[in-house]
Structure 1
Amino acid sequence: MTDLPQFHSLRGAAVEAIRTPDLQQKTELAQAAARRWQGRKLSLRSPLDRSVPERPGRPAKPVLTPPTQVKRRSLGSLKGRIALLHAIAHIELNAVDLALDIVARFASEAVPNSFFDGWMQVAFEEAKHFRMVRQRLNDLGADYGDLPAHDGLWQAAHDTRNDLTARLAVVPLILEARGLDVTPALQAKMRETGDHESAAVLDVIYEDEKGHVAVGAKWFRFLCARQKKDPAATFQALVRANFRGPLKAPFNDIARAEAGLTPSFYRSMTASTNI
């Protein structure tokens, strides 16, 4: 476990984790920072903190390409399962940095410390997910970085870097919620192919992601209440302004509702595309 004696604050630790291109170190730093924050052994901010980077640190591989150039393969083959797990590893890695970024970038926001409790728990679990998926890739004779990955995920962070409410609308309530929609079918498909180990990894991710969407919904509703705004209407306006692309059905309405994201938020926006 990486020690953090050099860090003066949670924000400083989050910034260093975002910056590092070493993925083992990144995930260890994220989890160590979460533990120290939850143990109230770190202050929130320090004048010595470095600035939040525009992009997270990354290794030389995978090669990043536009989403349209990433090939899709059938899950019926080993190559197809490796490709899917590689894509999931890439999503989980970005999720680590997105959770850290919301902590570091909005550390001066007027929100309770429990806001940062929630997001550091998310960062901790996303780091766990990345490590689990990477280990599963290793078990199958592959590794993260072996295949190209798409470069669209970090765009959400860049587009909402100046607006916490917009960040919550786009990242947990669209990107994370999408995982609730698509993961059950992937779990079933993995089991159909006999890959119960990969399915078990997806089981853990699916259950944790419900909590991540719930953290996003909780704080989105909190900010809307403080601003005396209707949450569903505010969500729709922010999505139109900050999200590129359609909201795609089918939706896992039950899991979404359990997390506090009811159909009134997204149903009217199905397949609406921003121009």
Structure 2
Amino acid sequence: MGGAPSLRGAAIAALQAADLDEKLRLTDYAGEGWFARRLGLSSPGDPAQPSRPGRPVKPDLVSPRLVKRRSVHTPEGRISMIHALAHIELNAIDLALDIVARFAREPVPRSFFDGWMTVAMEEAKHFRLLSGRLRDLGSMYGALPAHDGLWQAVEVTAHDLTARLAIVPLILEARGLDVTPSLLAKLDEVGDGETGAILEIIYNDEKKHVAIGAKWFRFLCARQGVNPAQRFQELVRQCFRGDVKPPFNDRARAEAGLTPTFYRSLSPLSS
């Protein structure tokens, strides 16, 4: 790589890594280098933005319809659930790295990249925790099929930072705030405190991630002179193919800066 080392180049290297241990190491390297101010933001020698992240041979990627859902009340069901969560966290690492690399030349404050490298490093921590839990239970990440739907959010928002923030943190991550409390209750029922402790960490970090997304979404809307809730609804209708459906964890969402005026009108099932 020519030129001075850069955050963008380091993020792309992590994004491209197919070996997951290397991806995690390079993610931490990028974040630590950035926070120590050893890395500039971008360099003329940075590699091209990859269209897809590096991935290992396993797991097999299939349609979301083909990924079985099992009850957490069986050991196999818990392994399936943890595997699915690990896959989400792996995608979340790459989504955060992609935001940093793809939008490194946007006119935003340096603290924007502080936020997203914090997210990337925390998603890497989550993946490590869930992978370790799978090993404790006699399995491993890659042992089960997984779906490839999350990366569509990158493709459809590749040229619009405001749209990317609307869809990734404020739709996809916010969904985690909705579903995790009931999952924690189920794990408590079956006495799986080890997995529950990991999900508590992820849940609390996800609140921060949604808050980072909401902060910068509002920043961009203010700069554009548009109403953030209305702009959010426009972008979701344009860019998101899934459903925005209850139940909503209104309290956790509001704590993260995502009030019901943003999302309630998008849900046909919501009063």
Q: TM class, shorter-chain normalised?
A: over 0.9
Answer whether contact 1:249 1:271 (CA < 8 A) is retained.
no
Of residues 34, 45, 49, the one that matches 1:48 is: 45
SS in 2 for 1:129: helix
Residue type of the partner of 1:122?
V
Whichever residue aligns with residue 204 of structure 1, its letter is I
Q: Displacement of 1:271 after TM fit? A: 4.0
Matched residue type, 1:24 = D
The whole-number CA distance in structure 2 between the counterparts of 1:31 and 1:210 is 21
Equivalent residues in 2 for 1:90-169, closer than 5 Å: 90-169=87-166
**Matching residue within 34, 45, 58 for 2:55:** 58
CA deviation vs aligned residue, 1:13-71 (integer Å, no higher than 9, x gap): 00000001011110111112111101111000011100111100000000001111111
Partner Cα separation in structure 2 for residue 30 and residue 171 of structure 1 = 19
CA RMSD of aligned residues (A): 1.2
What is the deviation of 1:7?
7.2
| Distance of 1:65 and 1:188 partners within structure 2 | 29
Q: Does the CA-based 8 Å contact 1:19-1:53 persist in structure 2?
A: yes
The aligned runs of 1:23-42 (5 Å cut-off) are 23-42=20-39
The answer to whether the Cα contact below 8 Å between 1:30 and 1:124 also exists between their aligned partners in 2 is yes
Q: 2:252 corresponds to which residue? A: 255
Is contact 1:170-1:243 (8 Å) kept? yes
Report what 1:84 is aligned to: 81
Match of 1:22, as an amino acid?
D
User: Quick one: which of 208, 212, 215 aligns to 1:215?
Assistant: 212
TM-score normalised by length of structure 1: 0.96
Q: CA deviation at 1:245?
A: 1.6
Q: Is the contact made by 2:4 and 2:43 (CA closer than 8 Å) also made in structure 1?
A: no
- Percent of pairs with identical residues: 64
Partner of 2:171: 174
Pairwise CA distance, 1:81: 0.2
Q: In structure 2, how many angstroms separate the alpha carbons of the residues matched to 1:199 and 1:41?
A: 37
Is the CA contact 2:6–2:43 (under 8 Å) kept in the aligned structure 1?
yes
Q: Distance in 2 between matches of 1:62 and 1:35?
A: 29
State whether residues 217 and 261 of structure 1, in contact with CA within 8 Å, keep that contact through their aligned partners in structure 2: yes
Deviation per residue, 1:187-224 (Å, 9 max, x gap): 11111111100000000000000000000000000000
Which contiguous aligned blocks of 4+ residues in structure 1 show a shift greater than 6 angstroms? none
Normalised to the residue count of structure 2, the TM-score between the two structures is: 0.97
Aligned to 1:191: 188
Cα distance per residue 1:222-264 (max 9 Å; x no partner): 0000000000000000000000021010000000000000000
Q: For 1:43, what is the secondary structure of its paired residue?
A: coil
Equivalent AA in structure 1 for residue 111 of structure 2: S
Aligned residue in 2 for 1:202: 199
Q: CA separation in 1, counterparts of 2:40 and 2:156?
A: 28
Superimposed CA distance per residue, residues 130-167 of structure 1 (whole angstroms, 9 cap, x where no aligned partner): 00000000000000000000110000011100000000
For structure 2, the residue ranges without an aligned partner over 5 or more in a row are none
